[in-house]
């Protein structure tokens, strides 16, 4: 276990050293337009998203959970031909802040929509080739039901928080009380996703745990 933690730290140092400018941008976005508490993907997860966006060059992107705007920024950063990039955020303060962040950081391709994703996606028949889920943990399985037929064949699905602070491998007695329900939800979600026949999925020890699936 100690060796594993050392590896994680080593990996963090490698990432941070090799990507100083991106790390600065990451920090800048989080610190811009202060509001009380703003959640964001971790830096290595942001790099992971950027890498897979660069690899797959999606044109129709859906993000559930704009939060700080960091993940949108890193997905969009190297994409020069985007037809449709929709990011959903239900929190009003984060949405208002997000509008400013989008113009401040030239994220012109991102169409930030103030809504509840569950409602929005129930009435959306757009097809996407890249979907990123990073919103309420208790609802991941619901999001998955709503998006699985909206992803084109060979499209990419990435989900954050799949290991949820390592809670998914802890004894229940070691989990903070208010994390017990979301931990159950994430475990249920991971098992469901891993066994879904319309996706090939792998789980990665990146950030808070990330899954990467391809639609088959």
Phi and psi for 86 in degrees, rounded to 5? Answer: -105, 130
Cβ pair 52, 77 in contact under 8 A: no
Q: Which residues pair with 201 in a beta bridge?
A: 213
Rule CB under 6 A: is residue 23 a binding residue for ligand SAM?
no
Shortest gap between Cβ of 171 and ligand SAM (angstroms)? 25
- The Cα–Cα gap between 169 and 126 comes to 36
The CA-atom distances, in angstroms, between 27 and each of 14, 34, 46, 89, 134 are 17, 12, 12, 20, 19
Rule CB under 6 A: is residue 194 a binding residue for ligand SAM?
no
- The Cα–Cα gap between 126 and 154 comes to 16
Rule CB under 6 A: is residue 136 a binding residue for ligand SAM?
yes
In the bound state, the residue with its beta carbon closest to ligand SAM is 67
Sequence-distant (≥ 6) Cβ neighbours of residue 83 within 8 angstroms: 59, 60
Rule CB under 6 A: is residue 39 a binding residue for ligand SAM?
yes
* Residue selected from 67, 155, 207, 209 as contacting ligand SAM according to rule CB under 6 A: 67
CB of 77 or CB of 91, closer to ligand SAM = 91
Angle of CA points 78, 150, 186, to nearest 5°? 85
Rule CB under 6 A: is residue 142 a binding residue for ligand SAM?
no
Rule CB under 6 A: is residue 89 a binding residue for ligand SAM?
yes
Burial class (CB in 10 A: 0-12, 13-18, 19+), 55: exposed
Q: In the stretch 105-134, what mask flags binding to ligand SAM with x, by CB under 6 A?
A: -----------xxx---------------x
Rule CB under 6 A: is residue 207 a binding residue for ligand SAM?
no
Shortest gap between Cβ of 209 and ligand SAM (angstroms)? 13
CB of 135 or CB of 212, closer to ligand SAM = 135
Question: Contact positions toward ligand SAM, by CB under 6 A?
Answer: 39-41, 65, 67-71, 88-91, 94, 116-118, 134-136, 139
């Amino acid at each position: 276990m100690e060796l594993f933690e050392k590896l994680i730290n080593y990996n963090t140092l490698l990432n941070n050293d090799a990507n100083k400018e991106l790390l600065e941008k990451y920090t800048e976005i989080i610190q811009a337009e202060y509001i009380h508490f703003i959640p964001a993907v971790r830096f290595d997860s942001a790099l992971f998203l950027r890498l897979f966006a660069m690899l797959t060059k999606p044109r129709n992107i859906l993000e559930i959970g704009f939060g700080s705007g960091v993940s949108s920024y890193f997905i969009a950063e190297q994409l020069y031909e985007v037809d449709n990039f929709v990011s959903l955020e239900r929190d009003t303060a984060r949405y208002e802040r997000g509008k400013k962040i989008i113009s401040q950081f030239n994220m012109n391709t991102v169409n930030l929509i103030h809504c509840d994703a569950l409602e929005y996606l129930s009435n959306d028949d757009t097809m996407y080739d890249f979907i990123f889920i990073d919103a309420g943990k208790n609802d991941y399985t619901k999001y998955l039901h709503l998006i699985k037929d909206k992803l084109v064949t060979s499209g990419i699905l990435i989900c954050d928080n799949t290991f949820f602070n390592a809670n998914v491998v802890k004894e229940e007695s070691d989990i903070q009380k208010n994390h017990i329900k979301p931990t159950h939800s994430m475990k249920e979600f991971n098992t469901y996703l891993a066994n879904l026949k319309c996706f090939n999925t792998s789980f990665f020890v990146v950030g808070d745990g990330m899954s990467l699936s391809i639609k088959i």
